[in-house]
Amino acid sequence: MVFDLIFGREREEEEDKEAFVEIDKTGEEGKKVQVRVESLEEYADTDRVQKLLREGNIIFLKIKPLRDKDLGELKRAVAKIKKTITAMNGDIVGVDENYLIVTPDFARVYRGEATTQV
Protein backbone atom coordinates (compact mmCIF):
# COMPACT_ATOMS: atom_id res chain seq x y z
CA MET A 1 0.00 0.00 0.00
CA VAL A 2 2.83 2.40 0.78
CA PHE A 3 4.45 1.55 -2.53
CA ASP A 4 1.20 2.24 -4.39
CA LEU A 5 0.97 5.68 -2.83
CA ILE A 6 4.56 6.54 -3.73
CA PHE A 7 4.45 5.14 -7.24
CA GLY A 8 0.92 6.42 -7.82
CA ARG A 9 2.04 9.98 -7.11
CA GLU A 10 4.98 9.65 -9.48
CA ARG A 11 2.64 8.54 -12.26
CA GLU A 12 0.37 11.52 -11.63
CA GLU A 13 3.37 13.88 -11.79
CA GLU A 14 4.48 12.28 -15.08
CA GLU A 15 0.96 12.68 -16.49
CA ASP A 16 0.97 16.37 -15.45
CA LYS A 17 4.26 16.89 -17.28
CA GLU A 18 2.88 15.28 -20.40
CA ALA A 19 -0.22 17.49 -20.24
CA PHE A 20 1.97 20.60 -20.51
CA VAL A 21 1.51 22.32 -23.85
CA GLU A 22 3.93 24.94 -25.13
CA ILE A 23 2.32 27.93 -26.83
CA ASP A 24 4.11 29.76 -29.63
CA LYS A 25 4.15 33.52 -28.95
CA THR A 26 5.01 35.04 -32.33
CA GLY A 27 2.03 37.41 -32.53
CA GLU A 28 3.30 40.62 -30.92
CA GLU A 29 7.03 39.89 -30.93
CA GLY A 30 7.26 39.50 -34.69
CA LYS A 31 5.34 42.70 -35.33
CA LYS A 32 7.35 45.81 -36.14
CA VAL A 33 6.43 49.04 -34.42
CA GLN A 34 5.97 52.07 -36.63
CA VAL A 35 6.87 55.59 -35.60
CA ARG A 36 4.63 57.94 -37.56
CA VAL A 37 5.04 61.67 -38.09
CA GLU A 38 1.60 63.22 -38.30
CA SER A 39 0.29 66.77 -38.40
CA LEU A 40 -2.64 68.12 -36.41
CA GLU A 41 -4.13 70.76 -38.70
CA GLU A 42 -7.71 70.69 -37.45
CA TYR A 43 -9.77 69.10 -34.67
CA ALA A 44 -11.06 66.37 -37.01
CA ASP A 45 -7.49 65.01 -37.34
CA THR A 46 -7.76 63.66 -33.78
CA ASP A 47 -9.84 60.73 -35.07
CA ARG A 48 -7.00 59.70 -37.39
CA VAL A 49 -4.48 60.02 -34.56
CA GLN A 50 -6.64 57.90 -32.25
CA LYS A 51 -6.99 55.21 -34.91
CA LEU A 52 -3.22 55.07 -35.41
CA LEU A 53 -2.68 54.78 -31.65
CA ARG A 54 -5.15 51.92 -31.37
CA GLU A 55 -3.26 50.16 -34.16
CA GLY A 56 -0.10 50.33 -32.02
CA ASN A 57 1.82 53.15 -33.70
CA ILE A 58 4.04 55.64 -31.91
CA ILE A 59 3.20 59.12 -33.17
CA PHE A 60 5.39 62.20 -33.42
CA LEU A 61 2.63 64.79 -33.73
CA LYS A 62 3.13 68.30 -35.15
CA ILE A 63 0.70 70.65 -33.40
CA LYS A 64 2.01 73.97 -34.74
CA PRO A 65 -0.48 74.24 -37.65
CA LEU A 66 -3.49 73.99 -35.34
CA ARG A 67 -1.83 76.14 -32.65
CA ASP A 68 -1.29 78.94 -35.17
CA LYS A 69 -4.84 78.58 -36.45
CA ASP A 70 -6.92 78.25 -33.24
CA LEU A 71 -5.56 77.72 -29.73
CA GLY A 72 -8.97 76.67 -28.36
CA GLU A 73 -9.28 73.92 -30.95
CA LEU A 74 -5.76 72.75 -30.09
CA LYS A 75 -6.66 72.45 -26.41
CA ARG A 76 -9.78 70.42 -27.27
CA ALA A 77 -7.81 68.17 -29.63
CA VAL A 78 -5.04 67.52 -27.09
CA ALA A 79 -7.63 66.81 -24.38
CA LYS A 80 -9.34 64.26 -26.65
CA ILE A 81 -6.04 62.55 -27.48
CA LYS A 82 -5.01 62.61 -23.82
CA LYS A 83 -8.29 60.94 -22.83
CA THR A 84 -7.63 58.16 -25.33
CA ILE A 85 -4.06 57.74 -24.08
CA THR A 86 -5.24 57.53 -20.47
CA ALA A 87 -7.79 54.85 -21.38
CA MET A 88 -5.12 52.87 -23.27
CA ASN A 89 -2.54 53.33 -20.49
CA GLY A 90 -0.24 55.00 -23.00
CA ASP A 91 2.04 58.01 -22.70
CA ILE A 92 2.03 61.56 -24.04
CA VAL A 93 4.73 64.18 -23.74
CA GLY A 94 5.26 67.64 -25.19
CA VAL A 95 8.49 68.30 -27.07
CA ASP A 96 9.23 71.95 -27.61
CA GLU A 97 6.10 74.01 -28.25
CA ASN A 98 5.34 72.45 -31.60
CA TYR A 99 5.36 68.67 -31.08
CA LEU A 100 3.84 65.88 -29.01
CA ILE A 101 5.06 62.30 -28.73
CA VAL A 102 2.17 59.93 -28.23
CA THR A 103 2.71 56.23 -27.47
CA PRO A 104 0.47 53.20 -26.89
CA ASP A 105 0.63 51.11 -23.73
CA PHE A 106 3.76 49.10 -24.60
CA ALA A 107 6.04 52.16 -24.91
CA ARG A 108 7.06 54.89 -22.50
CA VAL A 109 8.86 58.19 -23.10
CA TYR A 110 11.97 58.56 -20.97
CA ARG A 111 11.86 61.87 -19.13
CA GLY A 112 15.19 61.64 -17.35
CA GLU A 113 15.95 60.77 -13.79
CA ALA A 114 14.10 62.65 -11.11
CA THR A 115 16.61 64.52 -9.01
CA THR A 116 16.00 64.70 -5.31
CA GLN A 117 17.07 67.74 -3.41
CA VAL A 118 18.48 67.22 0.05
pTM (two decimals): 0.66
Q: Report the CATH number of the 35-103 domain.
A: 3.30.110.150
Pair type for strands 99-103 and 91-95 = antiparallel
Q: How far apart, in whole angstroms, are the C-alpha atoms of residue 22 and residue 104?
A: 29
| % of the chain at pLDDT higher than 70 | 70
- Give the model confidence (pLDDT) of 60-102 as tens digits: 999 999 999 999 999 999 999 999 999 989 999 998 889 999 9
